[in-house]
Structure 1
Amino acid sequence: MSTTRREFLKRTFTAGVGVLVAPTIVPASVFGPNAPSNRIHIGAIGTGRISRDHDMPGVWKYDYARIIAVADVDANRVADAKKLVGGYYSKKFGKSYSGVTTYENYEDLLANKEIDAVLISTPDHWHAKIAIDAVRAGKDVYLQKPTSLTIEEGRKMSDAVNVSGRILQIGSQQRSMEQFRVACELVRNGRIGRLKEVEVRLPGDPPGGNATEMPIPKNFNYDMWLGQTPYVPYTVDRVHPQQGYGRPGWLRCEQFGAGMITGWGAHHFDIVHWAMDKEYSGPVEISGHAEFPTQGLWNVHGDYATEMLYDNGVIVRGTTNTDKKPNGVLFTGSEGWIFVSRGNYSASANDPKTAGSSQALQASDPKILTSKIGENEVHLYKSTDHHGNWLECVRSRKQNITPAEVAHRSCSACLLQHIAMKLNRKLYWDPVLERFKNDDEANSMIARPHRPPYNF
């Protein structure tokens, strides 16, 4: 077969505006009373900090979307979520609202035929599994980043979405921020000449955490929360606060995520791929090193430095130096540079803060930023609201701005760097086969065992 996997993927998952992803035979349910053309009924799975601050508010503001169910393994949190959603709709409609069903087990929520789509805002280790189960249940999905804990899980997730024909949007909301699209268009259209290097600056995570075993709260299904990861004793610093919605400790435990390299890196490396037209590919060489804590509970990487080479000759560097330089992405070309960041925006009240300028878009020459993109030049997918883009695509069945395969490739670039940090040597990657070249040790880190009955 002469067609390469890369060519097949790009044809299949092309992220241009107006590309249909629905199956040829449209399910009868699309034309029912809960159809996307009428009102989208949504279930929220995981009701912690990011769900409350970002995901649920991102959809409930639309009149044609309605959150009708919430699920969480923490009974206190699911009760809070019902109160939060009900309170919002009561105020919006001017009368008491009680149309929110609660679940402990997300599988029961997925079995609800009235639900058209789901928000998945769980800890990272549950992302791929729930997304796969959701699309197989016929639900469209808004999935918090990163897509997966391992490259193998991400591949399974993307394949499942493609087979299902469902709409999956990853929560890389930077794609729906004007400055990131503008920066990528300017780079794509040669406004800084030939792209040579990219620097991605990320915040860091401190070590610490109390590993002392504690009694499991009666309101908390800890075994299910652990999911497919190994059983370890409960302690609040390993999970989330039992009071309030502060930044949870699981973000700093490798059992549940890779740390900032995926936690924030999934955003920035996605922008790098967008600017380089490498959304369906990846690096060919990766190297790096990192400092890992030697004591305490929290064991994700600390300060790190990585370097990736892409087949277009561009070198992409990652670093945690945002105590001295602003968090963001710096593109350097043969004729200038562009720096892009979120500016003053934050997705939640306790996002990590970094030093430096809050100016969202800068360039070596201000004229670069006012350059007009011609009619025959590259124009990228334009979205002004990330949750809104997802909802519109649920209704239209057109391709959304950050679909599953694009999200998987961005997450893979982050996970490849994490593997390089662990092995502390240069690795050679085949982005078509998604395997390391002649490296059994590195290939063994593409996947990891799953604890039953949560395996997939």
Structure 2
Amino acid sequence: MNTLNRRSFLRGAGVTAAGSLMGANLHMFAATLPDQDRPMAKNDHLQIALIGAGGQGQSDTKVALQVPGIKLVAVADCYQGRLDHSKELWGQDVFTTRDYNEILARKDIDAVIIATPDHWHKQAAIDAMRAGKDVYCEKPMIHLYSDGPEIIETARTTNRIIQIGSQRVSSAVYAKAKELLAAGSIGQLNTVTARWDRNSAIGAWDYTVPLDADTQTCDWPRFLGTAPKIPFNAEHFFQWRKWKAYGSGVAGDLFVHLFSGTHFVTNTLGPTRAMATGGLRFWKDGRDVPDVMLALFDYPEGFNLSLRVNFVDGGEESEGLIFTGSEGTMEIAGNSVSVSRVPRQKAPGYTISTFTDAMQQRFLEQYRQKYPVVHPEGDPPLGYDKYVAAPGYSDSYDHFKNFFDSVRTRKPVVEDAVFGFRAAGAALLSNLSYERDNIVHWDPVKMKIV
């Protein structure tokens, strides 16, 4: 992760100011960078453990350890190779085990990162909270709808901190978009369009299977957990997202990020109606979840959300959200937010040109009296503005920083189990609609299928 000295950044960027980029007004805003954090006192240090040391788990831990005052002391995983690699990454003194209960029994662990397959999220989170540990749980929070209320209730009764790992909720970029939308920069919101497309084997979950994968190096029974009992299958073990017994398809992996961002920016509790379509178009390798999915959602606030994931997009990985309003559009792409304002004006009907010149003139005079110009140029400003976060900014870092701040202070997290359930519950509507070949309804307040 790149870093930038705060003083030099503020001197160079002028905090908010400007310049021109392809005709745009360019604004740079300061954002927390890793080297800006204050040193931690000894009694503020936290000891954490990782449960699930795959690609996401190792990535999460590397980011978490950049937050001052955090030390990794234990790792649990069902594959011996990842336990061995954890020692290579973080030191031979790191305790490793295939059974996460050995970690939860330790008194020297304050919090755990759960990055298991989806079908283990609920049980691992509940076990950790009951053992007195605070929890950072990867998205989607749930694998089944019944998981949500159990996790929420356990967090309440144990009084433990749990944060769900959709980092957009901590993003300074999404916070800027939220601010701009609330300020009326694009008028009344009517649609949100979001996508996350890929075109690679790794992007399509065709993860590497190690050469030593067998029943000795892999704890297959423990991995299966509540999933159907089948003979050892290395692809199921290492490429688990391709099967709905362990994962949640593109909806649980990628739609949930787009829901989290949309819900945060718009301050909504979720959709009321959903419909989805798609299919297995290219990656016909034994998986039982689609590689192309499109879905539409109705929101009670008066806007619609359109989502797309395409694992055969013919190009580079592409992600973004476009918010369309009555007077402009706002796009989030990477670490930037762009706003294009074109305030709508009432205009005479197209057929006015078929009238006589005299009638056209009379009509236009009356029309101008009835509909005076509401937004003269510059009020609000027309044109294009782009807001860019500081170089080196990471919303993943901010998300972990916010989690550890909550662990220390016991203040509410930025993404609690209720928010996580609403985002994941909305995302999994896509799978439900796809499987039923029907429209499905959701109560975002009660968080229930209707």
Q: Same fold (TM over 0.5)?
A: yes
Aligned equivalent of 1:49: 55
User: Greater shift after overlay, 58-67 or 140-149?
Assistant: 58-67
Aligned equivalent of 1:121: 115
TM-score for the superposition, normalised by structure 1: 0.71
Q: Deviations over 1:366-418 (max 9, x none)?
A: 555569xxxxxxxxxx9971111111111111122212111111111100111
C-alpha separation in 1, matches of 2:72 and 2:447: 38
Summarize the Cα distance change of 1:271–1:215 in structure 2 as closer, same or farther, 3 Å threshold.
closer
CA displacement at 1:308 relative to structure 2 = 0.7
Q: Given that residues 191 and 305 in structure 2 are in contact (C-alpha distance below 8 angstroms), is that contact kept between their aligned partners in structure 1?
A: yes
C-alpha separation in 1, matches of 2:250 and 2:242: 9
Aligned equivalent of 2:270: 282
Aligned equivalent of 1:64: 69
- Please tell me whether residue 237 in structure 1 is matched to residue 241 in structure 2: no
CA displacement at 1:85 relative to structure 2 = 0.8
Structure 1: 5+ residue stretches without partners: 1-34, 87-97, 241-248, 344-359, 372-381, 438-456
Give the 5 Å matches for 1:211-222: 216-222=214-220
Aligned equivalent of 2:261: 271
Correspondent of 2:124 among 125, 130, 141: 130
- Please tell me whether residue 251 in structure 1 is matched to residue 233 in structure 2: no
Q: Given that residues 78 and 223 in structure 2 are in contact (C-alpha distance below 8 angstroms), is that contact kept between their aligned partners in structure 1?
A: yes
**Residue identity in the other structure for 1:309:** D
Summarize the Cα distance change of 1:337–1:430 in structure 2 as closer, same or farther, 3 Å threshold.
same
Aligned equivalent of 2:339: 363
Give the 5 Å matches for 1:151-166: 151-166=145-160
**Residue identity in the other structure for 1:68:** V
C-alpha separation in 2, matches of 1:393 and 1:209: 34
**Residue identity in the other structure for 1:43:** A
Give the 5 Å matches for 1:24-423: 37-52=43-58, 54-86=59-91, 98-203=92-197, 216-240=214-238, 249-278=239-268, 281-292=269-280, 296-320=285-309, 323=314, 326-342=318-334, 360-365=336-341, 367-369=384-386, 385-423=398-436
TM-score for the superposition, normalised by structure 2: 0.72
Q: Given that residues 265 and 414 in structure 1 are in contact (C-alpha distance below 8 angstroms), is that contact kept between their aligned partners in structure 2?
A: yes
Q: Deviations over 1:263-318 (max 9, x none)?
A: 1222111011112212xx32111112121369532121222221110111211111
CA displacement at 1:206 relative to structure 2 = 5.1
C-alpha separation in 1, matches of 2:333 and 2:165: 16
CA displacement at 1:254 relative to structure 2 = 1.4
Summarize the Cα distance change of 1:188–1:326 in structure 2 as closer, same or farther, 3 Å threshold.
farther
Q: Given that residues 118 and 140 in structure 2 are in contact (C-alpha distance below 8 angstroms), is that contact kept between their aligned partners in structure 1?
A: yes
The sequence identity of aligned pairs, in percent, is: 29
Summarize the Cα distance change of 1:75–1:49 in structure 2 as closer, same or farther, 3 Å threshold.
same
- Structure with the higher fraction of residues in strand conformation: 2
Q: Which protein is bigger by CA-based radius of gyration?
A: 2
Aligned equivalent of 1:30: none
C-alpha separation in 2, matches of 1:194 and 1:187: 9
Count how many residue pairs are aligned between Structure 1 and Structure 2: 353
2:286 counterpart SS class:
coil
Q: Given that residues 58 and 388 in structure 1 are in contact (C-alpha distance below 8 angstroms), is that contact kept between their aligned partners in structure 2?
A: no
Q: Given that residues 191 and 368 in structure 1 are in contact (C-alpha distance below 8 angstroms), is that contact kept between their aligned partners in structure 2?
A: no
Q: Deviations over 1:110-150 (max 9, x none)?
A: 01111111111111211121011111111011111111111
Summarize the Cα distance change of 1:82–1:197 in structure 2 as closer, same or farther, 3 Å threshold.
same
Summarize the Cα distance change of 1:422–1:135 in structure 2 as closer, same or farther, 3 Å threshold.
same
Aligned equivalent of 1:446: none
C-alpha separation in 1, matches of 2:161 and 2:224: 27
CA displacement at 1:104 relative to structure 2 = 1.3
CA displacement at 1:37 relative to structure 2 = 4.4
CA displacement at 1:363 relative to structure 2 = 2.5
